[in-house]
């Protein structure tokens, strides 16, 4: 089971490190990272494996959203199925 | 692997274009609650609703977290109460409304719909008593919605019921006059009412439905408006394709949520309703879509055509995205709930007559329209009769939800709050239709050949 973590905001030192540290702490394996600048915003997309996650999906998503908010970043964790549903026939 | 652009498009829709799931609605049959003892009936209804929908809000919140998309409303629809409570007095029906209200409060749902009756050919004693109870029931509750079906293409129009509903709307307005007649925002009069509609105020759990069911209403006017803006001055074929493509994506999210909610609640999945439902928020407006198509203001010439294209393309895109489509499925044009519509009325471009024409090509009818508080019951019945005729003749659902705001007139505004929004009071015609409405009886069902 995979999830997609997206980080949108102003670029700064340590964003990937912060998100990766939380993934590691919760037994979430990072499969792919992609980053780009879109409309002036730093955008990072991380695909992660969440089958072995050691907390609830909601708690993990909330934690990253809060960490993001504290750093003026919009961080979302979303189950991959929403993207598959929307963009695959 | 999902590609980056697709991921970013989804995030943009949710972050900037107000994409959300408008409602997850659980339909619950109350037929097995019927009892000849009113206290037992109330207890069984309360127990069934609070048992079956016990996890509705929790599961919806889990889904919001898992998929990262807001689910704005969690609602319940029930078997039309006029049948469940047949034999009760009007006071008994008011008590049933209060029972439903208690269930809504304890569950934390936004609305329960189904304080309803179907009287297209005539009213049973139960239906008559429920209709009589509406003004009080809607004044003593906050989360109960009422709908009355007064006509169908097969039965024609029950003009006695149309006349009665004009009076009931007026009485409901008076009973809630200290709150800008908000009772009328929870009351809708239908032709060809659908049995699986997840949207309020017209949701009910129909006769052919399973014991419980999950129906989902999607949203996304902001997403469609943004896609049309991005497509620029393309030709109509490209415009329709743009709407279809985006409607497909929106509906697929609805389908995902519907199936997952049904699975987690151990309840059959019913339908996805393809409606584009606006909110008063900026960038969540159906009027904005029409204006992005090239109209300077909604309500001007070309509006009906633009809306027809939009409605049809949404259905085409949505139908492919979902295994079961139902409910109202079309673009909604509730005036008070759509910032662009409000602006168009204020600019003097969008009139009641144009709104009526627009409802011939879209879902669902004259919706959330504030009219002067001194409008007569007969005039309201005339407005209902006109709108209902469009539905009956064209074999489609139409409805009327007008609010005669007691103590206010044209030029004034009314604030309903929240998703119900605010509205400028629109003028109605002064000339009387009282003699016409007072005739009584039924307008016969239309013929279905000789189409012109």
Three-state secondary structure along B176-233? Answer: CHHHCCHHHHHEEEEECCCCCCCCCCCCCCCCCCCCEEEEEEECCHHHHHHHHHHHCC
**With pLDDT > 70 as the criterion, what percentage of chain B qualifies?**
100
Of A62-66, B26-30, B416-420, the one with minimum mean pLDDT is B416-420
| Per-residue model confidence as pLDDT tens digits over B157-192 | 999 999 999 999 999 999 999 999 999 999 999 999
Of B12-16, B117-121, B132-136, B390-394, the one with minimum mean pLDDT is B12-16
Mean pLDDT, residues B91-107:
98
Mean pLDDT, residues B100-121:
97
Question: Band of the pLDDT at B219, cuts 50, 70, 90?
Answer: confident
Chain B segment 178-237 residues within 8 A of A by beta carbon are none
User: Nearest-CA distance from B273 to chain A in Å?
Assistant: 16
- Enumerate the residues of chain B whose CB falls inside 8 A of the CB of residue A34: 4
Mean pLDDT, residues B229-234:
95
Going by C-alpha positions, the residue among B91, B112, B122, B131 that lies closest to residue B48 is: B112
Going by C-alpha positions, the residue among B443, B348, B2 that lies closest to residue A80 is: B2
pLDDT of residue A42 exceeding 90:
no
ipTM of the complex: 0.89
Q: Give, for A2, the enclosing helix (H) or strand (E).
A: strand A2-9
Question: Band of the pLDDT at B122, cuts 50, 70, 90?
Answer: very high
Q: B68 and A76: CB-CB below 8 Å?
A: yes
- Listed by start position, the domains of chain B span 27-191, 217-439
pLDDT of residue A83 exceeding 80:
yes
Which residues are within 8 A (CB) of A15 and not within 5 positions of it... i.e. 6 or more apart? A7, A9, A42, A44, A71, A73
Residue of A nearest to B62 (CA): A58
**Which DSSP string do the residues of B429-451 spell out, in sequence order?**
--S--HHHHTT-SEEPPPPSSS-
Nearest Cβ partner for A86 among B15, B65, B249: B249
Q: A79 and B67: CB-CB below 8 Å?
A: yes
Measured in Å, how far apart are chain B's first and last C-alpha atoms?
A: 53
Q: Which of B2, B258, B323 to mutate to test the interface with A (most CBs of A within 10 A)?
A: B2
Q: State which residues form the domain around A81.
A: 2-87
Identify the pLDDT of residue B307. Answer: 97
User: Nearest-CA distance from A25 to chain B in Å?
Assistant: 19
Nearest Cβ partner for B62 among A6, A58, A82: A58
Identify the pLDDT of residue B140. Answer: 97
**Which DSSP string do the residues of B368-398 spell out, in sequence order?**
EEEEETT--HHHHHHHHHHHHHHHHHTTS-E
Q: A87 and B6: CB-CB below 8 Å?
A: yes
- Enumerate the residues of chain A whose CB falls inside 8 A of the CB of residue B3: 87
Q: A83 and B6: CB-CB below 8 Å?
A: yes
Question: Band of the pLDDT at B4, cuts 50, 70, 90?
Answer: confident
Question: Band of the pLDDT at B407, cuts 50, 70, 90?
Answer: very high
Question: Which architecture characterizes domain B217-439 according to CATH?
Answer: Alpha-Beta Barrel (3.20)
Cα-Cα-Cα-Cα dihedral of B399, B217, B362, B348, to 10°?
A: 80
**DSSP category for residue A22:** H
Query: What is the C-alpha separation between B419 and B62, in angstroms, rounded?
Result: 23
Structural domain count of chain A: 1
Query: What is the C-alpha separation between A71 and A78, in angstroms, rounded?
Result: 20
pLDDT of residue B452 exceeding 80:
no
Identify the pLDDT of residue B105. Answer: 97
Going by C-alpha positions, the residue among B178, B134, B189, B175 that lies closest to residue B408 is: B178
Nearest Cβ partner for B68 among A47, A77, A84: A77
Which of the given ranges, B152-166, B217-231, B276-290, has the highest pLDDT on average?
A: B152-166
Which residues are within 8 A (CB) of B121 and not within 5 positions of it... i.e. 6 or more apart? B155, B156, B158, B442
Question: B75 — phi, psi (to 5°)?
Answer: -135, 170
Q: A83 and B255: CB-CB below 8 Å?
A: no
User: What's the pTM?
Assistant: 0.93
- Enumerate the residues of chain B whose CB falls inside 8 A of the CB of residue A81: 67, 256
What is the CATH number for A45? 3.30.70.260
**With pLDDT > 70 as the criterion, what percentage of chain A qualifies?**
100
Mean pLDDT, residues B59-64:
95
Whether residue B65 lies within 8 A of chain A, CB to CB, comes out as yes
Average pLDDT over chain B, rounded to an integer: 95
User: Nearest-CA distance from B246 to chain A in Å?
Assistant: 9
Query: What is the C-alpha separation between B155 and B113, in angstroms, rounded?
Result: 24
Say which CATH topology domain B27-191 has.
Anaerobic Ribonucleotide-triphosphate Reductase Large Chain (3.20.70)
Nearest Cβ partner for B68 among A43, A82, A84: A82
Residue of B nearest to A85 (CA): B252
């Amino acid at each position: 089971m995979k999830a997609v973590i997206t980080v949108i905001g102003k670029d700064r030192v340590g964003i990937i490190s912060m998100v990766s540290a939380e993934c590691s702490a919760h037994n979430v394996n990072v499969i792919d990272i992609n980053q780009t600048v879109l409309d002036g915003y730093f955008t990072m997309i991380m695909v992660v494996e969440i089958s072995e996650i050691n907390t609830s999906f909601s708690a993990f998503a909330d934690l990253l959203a809060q960490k993001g908010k504290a750093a003026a970043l919009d961080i979302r964790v979303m189950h991959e199925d929403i993207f598959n549903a929307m963009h695959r026939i | 692997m999902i590609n980056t652009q697709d991921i970013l498009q989804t995030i943009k829709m949710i972050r900037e274009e107000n994409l959300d799931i408008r409602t997850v609605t659980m339909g619950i049959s109350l037929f097995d609650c019927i009892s000849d003892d009113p206290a037992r009936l109330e207890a069984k209804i309360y127990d069934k609703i609070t048992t079956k929908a016990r996890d509705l809000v929790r599961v919806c919140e889990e889904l919001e977290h898992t998929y990262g998309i807001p689910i704005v409303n969690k609602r319940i629809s029930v078997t039309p109460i006029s049948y469940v409570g047949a034999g009760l007095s009007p006071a008994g029906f008011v008590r049933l409304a209060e029972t439903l209200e208690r269930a809504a409060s304890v569950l934390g749902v936004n609305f329960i719909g189904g304080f309803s009756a179907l009287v297209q050919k005539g009213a049973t004693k139960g239906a008559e008593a429920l209709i009589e109870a509406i003004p009080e029931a809607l004044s003593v509750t906050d989360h109960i919605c009422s709908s009355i079906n007064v006509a169908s293409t097969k039965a024609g129009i029950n003009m006695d019921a149309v006349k009665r509903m004009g009076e009931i709307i007026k009485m409901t307005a008076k009973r809630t006059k200290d709150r800008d007649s908000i009772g009328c925002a929870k009351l809708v009069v239908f032709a060809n009412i659908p049995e699986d509609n997840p949207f309020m105020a017209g949701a009910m759990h129909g006769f052919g439905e399973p014991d419980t069911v999950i129906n989902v209403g999607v949203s996304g006017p902001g997403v469609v408006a943004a896609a049309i803006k991005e497509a620029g001055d393309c030709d109509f074929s490209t415009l329709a394709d743009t709407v279809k493509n985006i409607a497909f994506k929106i509906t697929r999210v609805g389908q995902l949520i519907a199936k997952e909610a049904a699975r987690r609640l151990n309840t059959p999945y019913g339908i996805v309703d393809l409606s584009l439902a606006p909110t008063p928020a900026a960038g969540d407006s159906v009027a904005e879509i029409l204006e992005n198509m090239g109209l300077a203001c909604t309500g001007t010439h070309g509006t009906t055509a633009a809306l027809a294209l939009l409605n049809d393309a949404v259905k085409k895109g949505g139908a492919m995205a979902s295994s079961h489509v139902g409910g109202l499925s079309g673009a909604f044009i509730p005036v008070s709930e759509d910032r662009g519509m409000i602006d168009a009325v204020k600019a003097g471009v969008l009139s009641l007559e144009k709104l009526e024409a627009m409802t011939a090509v879209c879902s669902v009818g004259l919706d959330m329209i504030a009219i002067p508080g001194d409008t007569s019951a007969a005039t309201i019945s005339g407005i209902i009769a006109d709108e209902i005729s469009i539905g009956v003749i064209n074999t489609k659902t139409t409805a009327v939800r007008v609010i005669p705001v007691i103590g206010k007139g044209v030029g004034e505004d009314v604030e309903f709050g929240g998703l119900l929004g605010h509205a400028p009071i629109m003028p109605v015609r002064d000339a009387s239709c009282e003699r016409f409405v007072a005739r009584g009886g039924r307008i016969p069902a239309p013929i279905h050949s000789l189409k012109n």
